Structure 1
Amino acid sequence: QLRQLAMYAHAAGQPDSGLFKPDLKRHFDTVLATYKGPSDGLWIYSVDDEDKPADTTLDLYTHAFVIFAFSHYSRTTGDASARLEAASTLQAIDRNFRKGVMKGFAESLDLAGNHLQAVRRHESHMHLLEACLFANEVWNDAAYMRIADEIVGLFLGSFYDSADNMLSEYFTDDLRPRADIQRHKVICEAGHYYEWIWLLKKYAHAKATPDAYDDICKRMLDWANTHGWDQKYGGIYDELDAQGQVVQETKRLWPFTEGLKANALMLNIVADRDAAKEHMARMTALFRDKYIDERGFWTEWLERDLTPAVDYMPATTPYHVYFGIMETRDILRSRGASKSWRAGPRKVLYKSRRLLSTIMRNTRRKLLK
């Protein structure tokens, strides 16, 4: 619900939105009426088909997307209540999600506010950083930048091992890298390397120090492109170990869209721009040919040989597809690339926007039933 609200609000606010006029207020009001937790600023995880609570876990990831979605909604509609709800959510995170952890934020709480034991992750913090950066962009509120500062500090001091260029997925209670219990290996995901590149660059821009993390971003991009990309078939592996060896060879869609925007963002920074452009051309061709369907569908997961691995389409994926495409488009427009470079990506972007339009129309019909 929150990812879709953010996506619809962003799309409706575009100058070329045309006849796309989603009922954003109805969607916003539904979230308020359905997912509110036990006190202001707290939100339950899910409801059933009758809008009754199904999972009442208070999840950090969910709360991050409340802020992200409400800031997008507020920017497009001007609804002041969204700012109040987002501020209340940030305060609730600050007040409640520090319980039971040495640093950073707890992954989840029960309705009474008790810390639920869970393997700690950088990902929930990463999305809270994303939400705070955008909320600050919309409202220019120092409270969001204070949390953003803290999370970037956690990234530099705990999540990211600069010596080994390693971003572990899982951590101990004191935020040391933790091996996956079943596979007994530290797990890394190229897709999250790409997301952190994007966020570090956005954070640096917000702090008026645009080049502050370029060295880290270049190292992370090189690792993700070198180890994450399948040299035989193409595509981005789902999981690797700390040495860059493949652990899970399937290829989900979202790391691909994150890879597109990270590579586009770094085009003016990497040493070999021609090689970077060639890599992006390979990415856009594979994206068009293997992930995006003419009928308005997408393939969520591929096997290593690029055959479909599943036949379902999660509702969380359009967020990655939409924002990945739109942000890549904005980057390419801003850098004034040559016509020969623009041609391939523009075809993919046009085709993908048609897909997104179909997805949003169909989803809106379902929401209005």
Structure 2
Amino acid sequence: MDFLAQTLLQRWVPKWYGAFCDPNNGGFYERLGDQFVPRMGQPRRLLTHCRQLAMYAHASAHTRGAFKPDLKKHFDRMLATFYVPETGGWRFSVDDDGHPVDGTYDLYALSFVIFSMAHYYAATHDERAHTHALDLLKFIETHFVMPGLPGYAEAIDTQLKPIPRQRRQNPHMHLLEACLFAENTWGDRGFAVMADRMVDLFHHYFYIRDFGQLCEFFTDTLKPDPKDGNKVEPGHYCEWVWLLKKHAFLRGYDSMHDDLCAELLSWANAHGWDYVHGGIYDVVSPDGDVLTDSKRLWPFTEALKANALMLDVVPEIDKAPLKNRMAKMVSVFREHYMSERGFWVEWLHRDLTPAVDYMPGTTPYHVYFGIMETYAVMHARGRSVSWRAGILLGLYTIRRQLSGVVRGVKAKIKAG
């Protein structure tokens, strides 16, 4: 993990920043193709901008000044293109030039506005971020409430009316994530109250504990959807482990959700992992039958940090299997998903062959925070920084410097 974390900070993040930043129009590209070439013509989502901004803000504080993104520029661009001052909402997407494409106010995307504001503020202390986060929380509490129904609407239109859509646990989960980080950054009670509200929804609606089922899709009353209620995603089991542990920490009672987290992780490890090829299935049934055998990248990073978090929770007899699982995950991650140059495969077939040829701008958030959270947990457990990691990264740094010198010499020769 040491080498992986340092490679992430010193190599991948700067490379992603250079590739995803649009030098002409500002903001970030929605996706990249082969050799990090931007794919134009894709609507640029608020979600993508928020995840990119949050990641670079966090990384800027963990590289000892080596990585210096222009965070204010990207924050201002987000305000100029996505924020709608007339309503207080944030539109879903814009085109390459920043013109509105989809004016919907989407709960999932808005959650990441709060998340990105917290990280941007932590890096810059720009008070505008705090103000916008508080205003957006109030916007959600005012306009996303569904009278007589639990939880919040999936999305609302430009007239601030709920849009009829199948209800999901996922937007609520990310609203919890956003509010936990906001609470940790600013300490406002409103974020803590909303976080507690999301955890209550988990207990009373999203997770059917008697069956070990974390439901994804619901009716309006948050009952499992008759058609899609049997679809569960192992990656979300792991994501909830991380968020419940973070919630417990902020409430001052670290073991508050430990029994529940152990159940979630045990189920995900038993039913989500492909014991033939390796990797984590996208969708399975509550009984563990494979419904969609493709394997996206993000469940991998969520599982990595969930397993790390539970190392000091599970009985001693279960620690070795968790460590072995983490070692297998890192091996599959490095061999099939990520290259040392920072390219990644977003989606794999069951046999771990590539299923797509593009790289979405939303995915580095999963890779970055998955590795950094896992590294933080392992480091806190007393693991020292690997001497091998230091040597390898030192050699890589020297190689980069020499490459820069060579390119400079060639440029001078060509010019003169």
Q: TM-score scaled by structure 1?
A: 0.90
Q: CA offsets, 1:229-279, max 9 Å, x none?
A: 000011000000111110000110000000000000011112210111111
2:53 matches 1:5: yes
Q: How does 1:24-63 map to 2 (within 5 A)?
A: 24-37=71-84, 39-63=86-110
What is residue 260 of structure 1 aligned with on the other side?
304
Q: CA offsets, 1:130-175, max 9 Å, x none?
A: 0000001010110000000111000000000011110011011111
Match of 1:158 among 205, 209, 215: 205
Match of 1:319 among 345, 355, 365: 365
What is residue 21 of structure 1 aligned with on the other side?
68
What is residue 145 of structure 2 aligned with on the other side?
98
Q: Does the Cα contact within 8 Å between 1:253 and 1:301 map onto a contact in 2?
A: yes
2:258 matches 1:214: yes
Q: Secondary structure, in 3 states, of the residue corresponding to 2:356?
A: coil
Q: Secondary structure, in 3 states, of the residue corresponding to 1:296?
A: coil
Letter in 1 for 2:109: T
Q: Does the Cα contact within 8 Å between 1:171 and 1:177 map onto a contact in 2?
A: yes
Taking the aligned partners of 2:262 and 2:239, their CA distance within structure 1 comes to 13
Match of 1:308 among 351, 354, 377: 354
Taking the aligned partners of 1:233 and 1:350, their CA distance within structure 2 comes to 30
Match of 1:284 among 310, 325, 330: 330
Letter in 1 for 2:367: V
What is residue 407 of structure 2 aligned with on the other side?
none
When residues 47 and 228 of structure 1 are mapped into structure 2, their CA distance, relative to the original with a 3 A threshold, is same
Q: How does 1:63-82 map to 2 (within 5 A)?
A: 63-82=110-129
Taking the aligned partners of 2:362 and 2:393, their CA distance within structure 1 comes to 21
Q: CA offsets, 1:61-102, max 9 Å, x none?
A: 111011000110001101011100110000000000003560
Q: Secondary structure, in 3 states, of the residue corresponding to 2:377?
A: helix
- Unpaired stretches in structure 1, ≥5 consecutive residues: 355-369
Taking the aligned partners of 1:209 and 1:264, their CA distance within structure 2 comes to 19
Q: Secondary structure, in 3 states, of the residue corresponding to 1:76?
A: helix
Taking the aligned partners of 1:47 and 1:110, their CA distance within structure 2 comes to 16
What is residue 248 of structure 1 aligned with on the other side?
292
Match of 1:191 among 211, 235, 259: 235
What is residue 120 of structure 1 aligned with on the other side?
167
Shift of 1:103: 1.1
Taking the aligned partners of 1:192 and 1:17, their CA distance within structure 2 comes to 33
Shift of 1:338: 8.2
Moved over 3 A (4+): 38-41
Taking the aligned partners of 1:38 and 1:337, their CA distance within structure 2 comes to 48
Q: Secondary structure, in 3 states, of the residue corresponding to 2:101?
A: strand
2:178 matches 1:134: no
Shift of 1:294: 2.8
Shift of 1:293: 1.2
Which of these two proteins has the greater Rg computed from alpha carbons? 2
Q: Secondary structure, in 3 states, of the residue corresponding to 1:54?
A: strand
Shift of 1:337: 4.1
Match of 2:379 among 320, 333, 338: 333
When residues 104 and 42 of structure 1 are mapped into structure 2, their CA distance, relative to the original with a 3 A threshold, is same
Letter in 2 for 1:255: P
Q: Secondary structure, in 3 states, of the residue corresponding to 1:163?
A: helix
Taking the aligned partners of 1:101 and 1:179, their CA distance within structure 2 comes to 21
- Unpaired stretches in structure 2, ≥5 consecutive residues: 1-48, 398-416
Taking the aligned partners of 1:318 and 1:254, their CA distance within structure 2 comes to 9
Between 1 and 2, higher relative CO (CA 8 Å, sep ≥ 6) is seen in 2
